[in-house]
Amino acid sequence: MQEQELIYRYGRTIPGSIITTNRPGYSAHNYRLALDFCFYYDGKMKTWADVQGSDYWRWMWIKTIKKWEVEGWETGFRWEYNWEPGHVQNLLGKTLGEWYIESQQNDKSRNYRNSNV
């Protein structure tokens, strides 16, 4: 959550471009349920911006997305709002809100146990 808070500050209270629109607790990355990917070819990373102009690489990207989706993962490539072509996530049947509430309950439980030691 601390790392997400730092990333969220970029472009707001830290000079630079905005990196994320997600506050801490509102990203599947915070719960280790998401990853961002790119291709690595010929010693270079290739993001969607790098590959979208090439028929071959665009096809490979879409093929990769489809493989994640067949395995039950949601892809940011399909999102209309906050489109993230290199993002995949699997919330395991819960919403981000449910993951957030559960994490808050676990934090309270941990703090309670530690204060009674």
C-alpha torsion angle, residues 89, 92, 97, 98 (rounded to 10): -160
Q: What is the pLDDT of residues 7-33, one digit of tens each?
A: 888 889 999 988 878 887 888 999 999
pLDDT of residue 111: 60
Residues 6+ apart with CB under 8 A from 19: 7, 8, 10, 11
> Residue 116 to residues 100, 103, 107, 109, 110: CA-CA distances in angstroms?
25, 20, 14, 11, 10
Question: Is the pLDDT score of 82 beyond 90?
Answer: no
Mean pLDDT of the chain: 89
Whole-prediction pTM:
0.78
Question: Is the pLDDT score of 34 beyond 70?
Answer: yes
- Integer Cα distance of 46 and 31 in angstroms: 26
Confidence category of residue 1, pLDDT binned at 50, 70, 90: confident
CA angle 1, 14, 2 (to 5 degrees): 10
Confidence category of residue 55, pLDDT binned at 50, 70, 90: very high
Question: Is the pLDDT score of 116 beyond 80?
Answer: no
